[in-house]
Structure formats: structure tokens, C-alpha cells
A and B are shown apart, each in its own frame.
Chain A
């Protein structure tokens, strides 16, 4: 990582509660609750954006403010406390913001372009330095205001932390609930703040293991709709889908290669689960593991040459690394009797996994160089870790009472938030790559 986030544990539990408003209210299932934030947050003020000669029906500045606050490393100055509401450099009185304790100020204004589109011009100011640090323009249609807000958040976050922001990314997940006495399974995607939830697939049979393609345009998943597990790929824009496997036994754990040309998966057609590589163009299938134990959950290393996977060949589930070229296998987890579901951070060094301590299944991060393992969560039924494309946070599934909910934690365990569902279980989050 280029920048080490200075985040420390916060003893008090509730920092902020933010309900994300949504322009398509009937579909919204997730809300956000930050349960732990930095104890030394950077204080930022996002002044309301001003529309000049255009009609803007979305409070874009509020979305930016919520994005930054949800990252846990910022705290926002409430609008009602603001002493002035500048929309451009000329209106900024630094003293007003210094009095409020702000480190940074964001202003923005909308204008209409010659082609009838909307342009947002936003600026970042250093209150102590008393100067404009940077400004940026983004142009889009009036239906893209939420996208423009998330892009502005990404840029502001990057200017201040040095890390690319993840507010424009999305999350895929599975929602399961009881309706009229039978289970209904839904595969959904939403913005990372839980807004704009969209349905990809609904089935009376289980749906599992959503996995993003490296270009973010497709999702692979396992569906039991045929009565047996089968792997499908589905295009997000067209909803067109294709069944990729239909072997006897398990067809599970699809994982797209970084270059998008192959998929690693687990099949038990030869008697027990083994890791295979499916070439998506030629449909050629290559068997990579050969062991009578369970081999499953392949995860790609960023180099595209290695896979991490879970195997109980040593007696308990542990993580192994496979060299695709020579098929050699090396065990890499040695602490504890249960380590599973590997998910590598983009640096290729930090491995998120499920780690059992006594009877508690927690999410942990293993540094592959120092071999130090840090528990990131302190609950008992945590699973399905998925690392954000900037490597700063991960999302996972946990339980609140008997309900499955999604939660997020920073990789140094400093920031935590929950995304509780309004109905049934939510599980198996898959964090999208950066938008192209």
C-alpha cells in the first residue's frame, strides 16, 4: 500500500448512524450502520452543491458526505453547523471552517453543458493551508447524479489518503427469505452504500458463490435451478446468461482469472472435489489437483499464475498455494485447526480468510511475508470475506440473532460497519473490481 491509514481502535461502539436514502425506494434492502470508526478522524466539511441553470433533484453533496463518513476515517461537519455555504473558491472564508475544526472543505457547483448535460465542478480546500488543493470536473446526464457523487467521493478520498476510493464499486450478494412457506433465493447487486439494489436472478432453489469477472461486466454463480448445482455466467447489462458446467457432483466455487480468459472452479466429477481450470474460449478443462481430500474455493493470486485454495488433506481445512504451471502445492496456513475461504488483497501479500478460534469462526488477515495473523472480527459465525479492490477494507457475512447480515471491516480492524437487510438472510458478498 502506498499510504498507511492512521486508524486506531475506538472503544465506544456507535460512531454514526446513517440511513442512505434511495431514489428507487421499493428495491432498497440494505442500510448502513457504522459501528466503529477511527478515533482520530479527519474532519471534512462538504458544503451543499449549488445548481446554476440546471435542475438537480438529488442531494449530491449529502451522498459524498455519507460516502466519506462511511469510510470511517472521516467525520463530517453537519450542515446545520456551517457558518457559510460557499459554492466556489471566491466564497470560501477559511476562518469559518477553522472555527468548526475542519481539516478540509469540499465545494461544488452544477452547470449545464452546451450539449445539454450536467457538469459538476468540485474543489477540495485545505483549511489550515488556506488554499484550494485541487479541483475536478465530471459530466453526465441527470440520471447519473449518484454515479457523479460516488466518483467525486473516490477522487476526494484519493487526494487525501493516496488510495483509490471504492465508493463507485458495487457488491453482489445472495438474499434468501421465506415467502408463503417456501424459500426464495435472490442474487442481487447494489452500490457499495447499499443503494440501487438490482435483481440478477430469483429462484426457488439455492444460489451460491457469486464471483465478478475482472472487467466487472459479468457475474459467475452456482445455481441449483436444474435440481443439481451448475455454474452460470451472466452479463450484467444484458442479463444474458450461459451455463458453463453440468458435471455429476459438485460444480462449485467459480473464480475468474485476472485476465478474464479462464475460470478456476471445484468439481467432484472424479469422485471428490478437485480444482480445475476452465478455458472460457476453448472450453478446455484442466485438472489441477489430485488428492482424495476436499480441495475447493480457488482464489487467484494477482499474478494470475498461482491459486490459493482450501484443502483438508492435512486432516483439517487449511489454505494451500498451487503453482498453475507445474501443479505443485504448498501449505501456507499453520495456525489453528480451521482456515478456509482465502481471498487475496490486491497487493498479493495480505490474505483474508475464515479462521476458527475455539468454537468461533472469525475473519482474519494473514500477512504472507511475516506469517502474522490478525483477527479482524470478534463474532462467532463470520464467513465469505471479500477484499475491496483498493485493499483498505473487506466485506463479510455474519449473523445478527438468527439473521444473516453483511458487514465490513478495514484490514487493520479499525473501522467496522454493518449492512443489515430488511428481509431474510443476506450473505456471500462479492466486492466488484474498480469500474472501468
Chain B
């Protein structure tokens, strides 16, 4: 499926859920509305025209892989996406870079080493899937290039990452 049909399907699902929610008025706590307070609205039909090339599958794969605190172990969802990357890279080899990152907590020097360890575990996975190791360069930025500038759990989770470029 392409991304756009995915989105349309999701919208359709949400719409159906919304409608069914409105239709459910049973139960002891239902409220009867005065006719005055009910408003109706028109929804215009919309159709889209599309042109251009279809995005190939390669570009739709995740290129950012997240890690747990102080860990360099690949999560299950990362493995799925990386396996697809590996298949693409085996089929049409190109040089890639893996940028390793850490959250801001603790020592900067240790964090740059941790970022490298994370990028290396991505590299090892790709190599195990058959990608030539000499096509992969690992560069760690540690905590020096955060994706999100804030000191809280959510931001730290988004900053512990490896970016494939």
C-alpha cells in the first residue's frame, strides 16, 4: 500500500468510529436535546487529483531508530525496518552513514561512546543481513546534537537514537 492510501484508510476508519459513536445513544444516561440546540452542517464532497511519481518503498522506511536508557540493543520495530533497509542495500548497494546519539544525562564523553555503541549495533545488524561493512560509516555525536531541546523523559527518549543517512 502507498502512504496516501494508508492515510485514506485511516481517515475512513476514524470517520466510521465517529459516526458509530454518535449513533450510540442507548443507556440510562442519554440526554434528550431540544430541537433548538441541534445544528446540522453540510459536508462538501471532496475529490483529490494526484500526479507525480509514486514514492518508492525505500524512502518510506524508518530512518531513525530509538533506544532504551543506557542501552544499545535494537528494539523489535527497529529490526523490522532495518531488515528492509538491508534488503534494499544488498540489492542496490550505496554508502550509508549511521549517526549515533545519546540523551543529555551523565558524562558527555561516555555519551559519545554510547552513541557509537548504538550506531555499531545497527551496523552489525545490517552486516548480518548481508550488507557490506565497508559501505557503512559510523559517526557518533553523543549528546551534542539533540533532536529535541528539553530536559524531560519524552525528549530524552527521542534523543536516544541512531539516524541512517
Contact = CB atoms under 8 A, between A and B. Distances in A.
B107 A383 contact: yes
A340 interface: yes
Interface stretch (A79-87, A231-239, A266-274, A277-285): A266-274
Given A253-B109, A384-B108, 8 more contacts: A208-B112, A209-B109, A229-B112, A250-B113, A297-B110, A310-B107, A341-B110, A354-B107
Interface string A203-235: 000101100000000000000100111000000
A354 B149 CA distance: 22
Given A268-B116, A361-B105, A381-B151, A296 B140 contact: no
13 contacts: A206-B145, A208-B108, A209-B108, A266-B109, A273-B116, A294-B113, A310-B110, A338-B106, A340-B107, A361-B105, A381-B104, A381-B151, A384-B107
Contacts of A209: 108-109
A249 interface: yes
A76 B2 CA distance: 73
A252 B114 CA distance: 13
Contacts of A356: 106
A386 to B, nearest CB: 13
Interface in A299-356: 310, 312, 317, 338, 340-341, 354, 356
Which of A208, A250, A317, A427 has the most chain B CB atoms closer than 10 A to its own CB?
A: A250
A228 B109 CA distance: 15
B117 interface: yes
B163 to A, nearest CB: 14
Interface string B98-125: 0000001111111011101100100000
B116 to A, nearest CB: 6
Contacts, number: 82
Interface string A233-274: 000000000000000011011000000000000101000110
Instruction: Name which of B112, B141, B150 has the most chain A CB atoms within 10 A of its CB.
Output: B112
A357 interface: no
A399 B151 contact: yes
A355 B120 CA distance: 27
B50 to A, nearest CB: 31
A272 B114 CA distance: 10
B144 to A, nearest CB: 4
B144 A206 contact: yes
Nearest to B115: A250
Contacts of B107: 297, 310, 317, 340-341, 354, 383-384
A334 to B, nearest CB: 18
A268 B105 CA distance: 22
Contacts of A273: 113, 116
